[in-house]
Amino acid sequence: MPQVPIIMPQLGESIAEATIISFLVNPGQTVAADQSILEVETNKASMPVTSPCPGRLAQWLVEQDESHPVGAVLGYIEATDEQAQLAGEDVSVAATPESGASTVPKPAAEPPRKAVVEPTVRGLPVPAQAVGASYMSPRMKARMHELGLHAADVAGVPGSGAGGRVTVEDFERFIANLEKHKLTQASSMRVAVADAMRRSWTRPLATVGLPAQMDALLAHRKTCEPKPGPALYALRALAVALAENSAPAGRLIGNKIVHPPAIDIGFAVEAEEGVLVPVIRNADQRPLRELVAAYNSLVEMARQRRLPADATGGSIATVTNFGTFGLIWATPIPLPEQTLVLGLGAGRRVPSWDEAQGQFVPVTESNLTLSFDHRVLDGGAAGRLLTRVAFLMSHPEKM
């Protein structure tokens, strides 16, 4: 019987590889078309790989915890000629009409050698007393490249060379010293977050903040069913503000500001060993009440690391509710492809001066922060955007 290869699929934009985390079917078992047969993990989510056709699983060519590139052959399914042809396989047959022998499919070609992807980025602990690496020689850079390290990984290596320069000998001593410490393998998500933050930090970033009264929002929330969370209010407010003026969310490419084609806003969700950012598309075109179900569904899928590919990437800004950790102030970092990240702090009861009553009255207040790429907008533009967001959050009926 012909064998149909099981191919590592394209699991999302910019995803080049995935790691095998579990097998759902064993060799010899019968499978149906589109049946989930193994689970893989990318730096964004866990997801199943399905069978290309019905048949019997012949063999796996991969092992658990191995990483493989998109397009790699993971195994084979024995199928009928008809099913193999439907799956796009060229089924050639050899026959001997003179002898009346039945046609026999050509044997499957020898499986290609599997290409295992080795991790290219690893985090390293840095000594607290280190001064920091500055100039690095070509030899030093080559050695770091060989180990798959970035400059940020060795920023704390003390240098013994001229002017504090870190020599290759300093670097090798640092690497050897690591073996004396407890080391754990960083997860693919942790590595992805680290790489994104490293790339984000190459830009000049700044943060502005102001307090926003939340009493009207909390009262409005009690009238809603299902109830939107504070982060969703912030997301909707940011979407409305950017729909009025999208320039603050533009990206600087050369000497051009590239305006966003749509108001797609992401929001940070804490997942195991990292953070995922699902995206609500066209958040400016849907009223708050219509966003609640979609938001709650995305939060649950993100926590399970089962976000579909179309629910991530392509957002123009992110909202993060650091108030869930009891924090009242923070300076979150925007993603590399974004200019803005809006932060929401924990609500607190504080005194506020009431002009009409001529006295202080208790109100619920949360700090809003806006971190931004200072190349694209300045403090004034950032302040106006944040003021507009705060106004909308204190007037939720306008959302």
The DSSP code sequence of 223-236 is T-SSPPPHHHHHHH
Three-state secondary structure call for residue 141:
helix
- pTM value is 0.64
- Rounded Cα distance between 152 and 161, Å, is 19
The rounded distance, in Å, linking the Cα atoms of 58 and 85 is 17
In this predicted model, what pLDDT tens digit does every residue of 100-149 receive, in sequence order? 434 444 444 444 444 554 433 333 333 333 344 455 667 777 888 888 78
Task: Walk across the sheet containing 46-50 and list its strands.
Answer: 46-50, 36-41, 17-23, 67-69
Give the tens place of pLDDT for each residue, 33-53: 889 999 998 766 788 899 999
Looking at the domain that runs over 205-398, which CATH code has it been given?
Answer: 3.30.559.10
The pLDDT tens digits of the residues spanning 285-329 come to 999 999 999 999 999 999 988 888 889 888 999 999 999 999 999
DSSP-assigned letters across all residues of 175-224: HHHHTTS---PPPHHHHHHHHHHHHHTTS-EEEEEEEEE-HHHHHHHHT-
Domain with CATH 3.30.559.10 in the chain: 205-398
Domain with CATH 2.40.50.100 in the chain: 3-105
| Both tokens assigned to 96 | 């001997």
pLDDT tens-place values along the chain, 399 residues long: 889 999 988 876 657 788 899 999 999 999 998 899 999 987 667 888 999 999 999 999 999 988 888 888 999 999 998 888 887 777 664 333 343 434 444 444 444 444 554 433 333 333 333 344 455 667 777 888 888 787 777 776 777 766 567 778 888 888 888 778 887 777 777 778 888 888 888 899 999 999 999 999 999 999 998 899 999 999 999 999 999 998 899 988 888 888 899 999 999 998 877 889 999 999 999 999 999 999 999 999 999 888 888 898 889 999 999 999 999 999 999 998 899 999 999 999 999 988 999 999 999 999 999 999 999 999 999 999 999 999 999 999 988
Q: How distant, in Å, are the alpha carbons of 75, 230, 269, 330, 360 from that of 217?
A: 54, 8, 22, 22, 20
What pLDDT does 103 receive? 41
Q: Report the alpha-carbon distance of residue 313 to residue 258 in Å, rounded.
A: 17
Q: For the domain made up of 3-105, give the CATH fold.
A: OB fold (Dihydrolipoamide Acetyltransferase, E2P) (2.40.50)
